[in-house]
Structure 1
Amino acid sequence: MTSVKEFRVEEAATADELGTGAFVFTDDYSVFDWGKMPDSIPNKGASLCAMGAANFEALEAEGIPTHYRGVVANSGEVVPLDETAAPPREMAIDLTRVPDLPHEGREYDYTAFHEEAGENYLIPLEIVFRNTVPVGSSLRSRADPADFGLDFEAWPDEPIDLPEPVVEFSTKYEESDRYLTRDNADYIAGEADVDDLEEVAREVNDIVTEKAAEAGLKHEDGKIECLYFDGEIRVADVVGTFDENRFSYEGQQLSKEVVRQYHKRTQPEWVDAVEAAKARAKDEDIADWRELCAVDPEPLDDHVVDAVRDMYTAGTNAYLDRELFSAPPLSEAVETVRNL
């Protein structure tokens, strides 16, 4: 289903009922929409599973519906996160339906998608919320600081706090994600109302921001995905992890952005080739830009893999306020990635 987690179906969803299944988190990673990279990061999958579970349980405690059912313990039993002694790698979830999204080139037929979807489907949107504009944020290329009431002529080379959180909508199932106008997002959402999606995103943002602050982290931005079932929006996929969201600690990124920026510095030929392939695909109306990319990424050096592993595990320990992983103190892990 994704490049970093596997998907197990136990009972398939129908037009009228949710199914059951699980996410199985791997140690794979992806940057720049490449998909599975040529190496992996130990304990990354368990980190994402634990953080995601903690956040889903926090959302449920606040009355926000989700597809989460618990984590899978070594015994195979589905339990709350605090009942596991070892870092979990499987998350039990309710399943909805994901209809095919027909397309010719880069023209996608959402009418056909929703004709099949009915009232039980994964909404084909990502709802993005931003509290800051970090270095590397795509917002910098799509808007000016003045658009948000900021007194800068150009974006400074440092993270900038926004006066109020900003919510945006982007596509989920297209080969190259694109940001949408509100009207386009409302159309693509189908039966789900775009105003309701924004409200849920803002509630999720508030909860993750508060949990991060308790751990000494700053929550900069993130996204959610949602399903629609029987007239109700439920938060789906995984929420508030170091892959879905950007966090920082004492000014240092603590998220997958560390790996993105490292590749920009050390493998610029590959990063440039990716951007060129995406641009060519857009110009030539080709859906899969990867077939146009002439350069492949190289594996990370061992010391980089170790540093990123410690970033994920130490960050998760701090976020959970629990020594779930054997990891250095967060300050030590952050200083290591700061010096990469």
Structure 2
Amino acid sequence: MTSVKEFRIEEPASADELGLGAFVFTDDYSVFDWGKMPDQIPSKGASLCSMGAFNFELLEDEGVPTHYRGVVEDGEVVPLREASRPPWEMAIDLTQVPDLPHEGRDYDYDAFHAEAGENYLVPLEIVFRNRVPVGSSLRSRTDPADHGLDFDSWPDEAVDLDEPIVEFSTKYEESDRYLSREEADDIAGIAHIDDLEAVAREVNRIVTEQAAAGGLTHEDGKIECLYFDGEIRVADVVGTFDENRFSYEGTQISKEVIRQYHKRTQPEWVEAVGAAKEQAKAENIADWRELCEVQPDHLDEDVLQVASDMYTAGANAYTGLELFDAPPIDSAIGAVRRL
């Protein structure tokens, strides 16, 4: 189980065959790598499942291989367009996910790949960036000059990039870290880093064009991939408001809204999370959460409703479908601005 969606195995993968399974989306949310937070956001799970399914079908139409099989309605696997209501469950092909042994923060990827063979989930997240919004980790890790930008320091507003940036980070480590290209290539195993980047750039192009058609700006996002039978396929979920950052007329429409709200209203918890991560790094401890002495508080019901409307109205706008009984995107974003 992940922090926001459940994982069901129907037929496990083997060394030579993909398996069958499903994601069951929930209304849970996670920020700052905390895991399940104290509240739920109504209809969030259905909005993520709907957007993910819509994007997988877009990718398949464009010739990008994926692990998607359809959405599940009344026990049947169907395309999103044939579903009679917003889905909560997505049918997928399964690959192997070996254990990643570690001592403290030292991870044994050789052992992972020895068990993975040629059918495995690549233990990387491939990140693409079209702009650098407020809150992007790129601001704390790099300077504008590193990307050919003519700024002495990062400005207070979002910065558009002439060409997308592609980066690689770890997937299964307790605290994710960004990697050099050489490190990422080693961790990827027999899946070549150039091929992973090419798939990420194509996904970015498709999602960016779809967002623009719905009046949204696609700022950044990530994909995960599986390797099977010599082919890279897009896995996990693609192009949702949790995996990607979008904006509408300059206002964020993504999980970043909730992250920034916590920074403003629960700074003690956010600071404690940061301190715990730094302590874990210094002491070579894998799980930083056990070091965090502050717990997150519940959010007010009106804040959860604003978040729900953002997810559902945003899904309607992005897909061009009336999936949810949600306010118009202008109204939903107006409420976000007032948070």
Quickly name the TM-score band, shorter chain normalised.
over 0.9
Aligned positions of 1:274-289 closer than 5 A = 274-289=273-288
CA drift of 1:71 comes to 0.3
- The equivalences for 1:19-98 within 5 A come to 19-73=19-73, 75-98=74-97
Residue in structure 2 matched with residue 149 of structure 1 by the alignment = 148
Residue 304 of structure 2 is matched in structure 1 by 305
Corresponding residue SS for 1:27: coil
Corresponding position: 1:13 with 2:13: yes
**Deviation digits for residues 205-257 of structure 1, max 9, x if unmatched?**
00000000000000000000000001110000000000000000000000000
SS in 2 for 1:273: helix
1:294-323 CA-to-partner distances (Å, cap 9, x unmatched) read 000001111000000000000001111111
Conserved 8 A contact 1:102-1:112: yes
1:20 alignment partner, SS class: strand
What letter is aligned with 1:329? Answer: P
Segments of 4+ moved more than 3 angstroms: none
| 1:287 alignment partner, SS class | coil
- Contact kept, 8 Å, 1:127 with 1:201, in 2: the verdict is yes
Q: Which residue of 2 aligns with 1:234?
A: 233
After superposition, what is the alpha-carbon deviation per residue over 1:47-73, rounded to whole angstroms, capped at 9, x for unaligned?
A: 000000000000000111000000001
Tell me if the contact between 1:148 and 1:163 (Cα under 8 Å) persists in the aligned partners. no
| CA distance in structure 2 between the partners assigned to 1:149 and 1:178 by the alignment | 23
Paired with 2:317 and 2:191, the residues of 1 have a C-alpha distance of 35
**Whole-Å separation in 2 of the counterparts to 1:323 and 1:192:** 39
Letter in 2 for 1:285: N
Distance in 2 of aligned mates of 1:149 and 1:7: 42
Q: Does 1:106 align with 2:109?
A: no
User: Could you say what the CA RMSD is over the residues aligned between the two structures, in angstroms?
Assistant: 0.5
* Distance in 1, Cα, partners of 2:14 & 2:20: 11
Q: Which amino acid aligns with 1:293?
A: C
- Secondary structure of 1:203's match? helix
Matches of 1:86 and 1:233, distance apart in 2? 31
Q: What letter is aligned with 1:136?
A: G
Q: Which amino acid aligns with 1:62?
A: E
Partner SS, residue 13 of structure 1: coil
Aligned to 1:2: 2
Superposed displacement of residue 81, structure 1: 0.3
* SS state at 2:163 partner: strand
Measure how far apart 1:99 and its partner are.
0.2
**Letter matched to residue 249 of structure 1:** Y
Q: Identify the residue that residue 272 of structure 1 maps to in structure 2.
A: 271
Within 2, Cα distance between the matches of 1:149 and 1:277?
Answer: 34
SS of 1:154's equivalent in the other structure is coil
Cα shift at 1:332 = 0.2
> 1:263 is paired with a residue of what secondary structure?
helix
| Aligned amino acid, residue 318 of structure 2 | Y
Residue aligned with 1:233, SS: strand
The 5 Å alignment of 1:290-301 reads 290-301=289-300
Instruction: Tell me the CA shift for residue 85 of structure 1.
Output: 1.5
Q: Which runs of 5+ in 2 are unaligned?
A: none
Distance 2:146 2:185 in 1: 22
Counterpart CA distance in 1 for 2:298 and 2:189 is 41
Sequence identity percentage:
77
Structure 2: how far apart are the matches of 1:132 and 1:186?
Answer: 25
- Paired with 2:293 and 2:275, the residues of 1 have a C-alpha distance of 10
Secondary structure of 1:69's aligned partner? strand
Give the Cα–Cα distance (whole angstroms) in 2 for the partners of residues 150 and 182 of structure 1: 21
CA drift at 1:121: 0.4
Q: CA deviation at 1:76?
A: 1.2
Q: What is the TM-score of this pair, normalised by structure 2?
A: 1.00
Give the corresponding residue for 2:129: 130
Distance 1:147 1:282 in 2: 25
Q: For 1:113 and 1:320, locate their aligned partners in 2 and report how far apart those are by CA, in whole Å.
A: 38
TM-score, normalization: structure 1?
Answer: 0.99
Counterpart residue number, 1:315: 314
Structure 2 CA distance for aligned equivalents of residues 167 and 321 of structure 1:
28
Q: How far did residue 204 of structure 1 move?
A: 0.1
